[in-house]
Structure 1
Amino acid sequence: MKTLLLGAVAYDPKVVPIWDIIRDYANANAEIFGCKLDYVLFSNYERQVDALLNGHIDVAWNTNVAWIRTLHATQGKARALVMRDTDVDFTTKFVCKKGSGIQNIADLKNKRFGLGSMDSAQAAIMGLYYLQKECAQDVILQEFDSPDACGRGKSDTLKTSSLSVVRHNSDVGKHGDTGRSEFEILEAIKAGELDAGSIGSSTWIRILQEGSYPDIESFWTSPGYCHCNFSVMPKFDSKLAESFTQMLLSQNAKKDNPVIAKMMQMEGLNAWIRVGESELRAYDIIYKAMEEQNLLKNTL
């Protein structure tokens, strides 16, 4: 019986119990689904994408950025199998301090705006894309500096004609999974060092639930796009792909099992879903943004 080797990125200690649970579930039900599972952890998504492209792993749990780089490297032939229900209709939120007078993108003229890690779709790539799209006459990147950013991780400032865009390049290689750069942005807004910034909808929901930034509000939300998926190469065996898919989908009916429920809670999903045409189309806007920002190449 084939043992599939899955790749995931170690962005947080919780990923170990998450993949242990999924592996153990797959192997306990191997006779039902026709395959076993093991996993390896990578320190960054660039190495994981490289491993998938070179056949060292069978399946990769990819961010949207890693998926698009895989898609680009395979001339659009890579396949996405399964994602979380929470990976659908993901959005980027622009946030500011309450009472700042910022109500829309046009109000950002002559302001200081924070972007997250350069490889984070939610905190940087889509934020920059829509800044340029919505006020192209005001956001023209002219210079590139590297200030200290008050000691909160490596940052870069993009000087524009009327908007100072500050990058918080924390945990590059994790594609925004740690969320560190988004919280740096929130802290900088709170401290008055930024007027506004870009974060992901999952971080926005988290801080609303926790009540941790009561003085921060959202003034703009992007159109929806998709986040993570399980990616395979074009020639990956179709029967094994379906076995892997069915194994994951079967967990949706096991949420009364405390172990499965724990895994889903830690991984941030209510259900696994099959990737369809609508989900694939929702990556198109990120592909366009990455192409414009010269981010399609998987650079190790």
Structure 2
Amino acid sequence: MTLVMGAVAYDPKVVTIWAGFRAWFARRGLDVDFVLYSHYERQVDDLVAGRVDAAWNSPLAWIRARRLAGGRLEPLVMRDTDQDLTSVVVVREDSPFKDVADLKGETVGTGAIDSPQATLLPFALLREHGLRPGEEVAVRRFDVGVGLHGDHVGGERDAARALMSGGVAAACMVDSNHLLFVREGTLPPDGTRVVGRTRPYDHCTMTAARATPETDRFRDLLLSMDASDPGVRTLFDLEGLTAWRPARTSGYALLERAVDDEGFYDPAGPMTAPGYRP
């Protein structure tokens, strides 16, 4: 039996990554094929309907899929780099803002509408400080790659640029991208300060429609991958991990609440507005 896995093509390297993994699985006797999607919403629909056996889900895709499936999905693995992330609210070093609450009446830049790390979770942080997005603070959203659930870093990068040009008073991003933007020169060294940080959360998870001998074997082989193997290490570097870890769901509680507070998938919620659903 062939195990069919779904993945979202947020970048051309996705083809290289999963073609390489597919060949690695084949050498170990597991027949794996993959289907590439242009956005997570269709991938979730196909996973829940059983048209694919497993899917490489964003955290938001995991939440939507679990809810649509009535909780009957099986989390398999996640990257070591998917665990215990934080998002930050960043201001210019020369700004007067010392705390998130100081941003009342200002404009905050975010990533795409469906980005957990650069929009939904930072919105939750703002609300914790008494600032309702769109009310106590204005929001300037950078909708790059809607449907990719923040996998496209462009929206966060544009928010960072807007911060430095004075277009927004603060910008929201995952902590690792804050460091990346400094390394690449989008943000100047020592030119920004973090005034707020979310609690830790987890990111992507490999999800099975149901547990089968094939999905069990798929999970076990992923967990057995060793970065000391040069071929594996090349694929790991492209995919941004050093080891696969057993999946856990406890790291999604923060995003679950953020999705509910935002009414994200409600009939009149943000992702059902004209022009936004991919």
TM-score scaled by structure 1?
0.84
**Does 1:232 find its partner at 2:208?**
yes
Report the equivalent of 1:174.
148
Shift of 1:218: 2.1
Conserved in 1, the CA contact under 8 Å of 2:112 and 2:118?
yes
Choose from 228, 239, 242 the match for 1:267: 239
Shift of 1:256: 2.7
What amino acid maps onto 1:39 in structure 2? F
Listed as ranges, the matches of 1:101-140 within 5 Å are: 101-135=96-130, 138-139=131-132
Distance 1:241 1:247 in 2: 10
**1:232-269 CA deviation, whole Å, 9 max, x = no partner?**
12x331x2222011111111x2x233221111111111
Shift of 1:209: 3.7
Conserved in 1, the CA contact under 8 Å of 2:117 and 2:174?
yes
Listed as ranges, the matches of 1:72-221 within 5 Å are: 72-135=67-130, 138-139=131-132, 158=134, 160=135, 162-214=136-188, 215-221=191-197
Q: Give the stretch that moved more between structures: 164-173 or 210-219.
A: 210-219
Report the equivalent of 2:274.
none
**1:179-236 CA deviation, whole Å, 9 max, x = no partner?**
1110110010011000101111231232244354122332221100110010112x33
Conserved in 2, the CA contact under 8 Å of 1:116 and 1:123?
yes
Distance 2:49 2:245 in 1: 27
Say which SS state the counterpart of residue 282 (structure 1) adopts.
helix
**1:113-164 CA deviation, whole Å, 9 max, x = no partner?**
11211111001001111111221xx42x5xxxxxxxxxxxxxxxx3x1x321
Report the equivalent of 1:56.
51
Q: What runs of 5+ residues in structure 1 fail to find an aligned partner?
A: 142-157
Report the equivalent of 1:18.
17
Distance 1:168 1:125 in 2: 13
Distance 1:202 1:68 in 2: 23
Conserved in 1, the CA contact under 8 Å of 2:161 and 2:186?
no
Conserved in 2, the CA contact under 8 Å of 1:46 and 1:173?
yes
Conserved in 2, the CA contact under 8 Å of 1:112 and 1:166?
yes
Distance 2:27 2:142 in 1: 43
CA RMSD after TM alignment: 1.7
Listed as ranges, the matches of 1:242-253 within 5 Å are: 242-251=216-225, 253=226
Distance 1:281 1:82 in 2: 13
**Does 1:39 find its partner at 2:34?**
yes
Conserved in 1, the CA contact under 8 Å of 2:157 and 2:181?
no
Q: What runs of 5+ residues in structure 2 fail to find an aligned partner?
A: 272-276
Report the equivalent of 1:292.
261
Report the equivalent of 1:145.
none
Conserved in 2, the CA contact under 8 Å of 1:52 and 1:59?
yes
State the identity %: 33
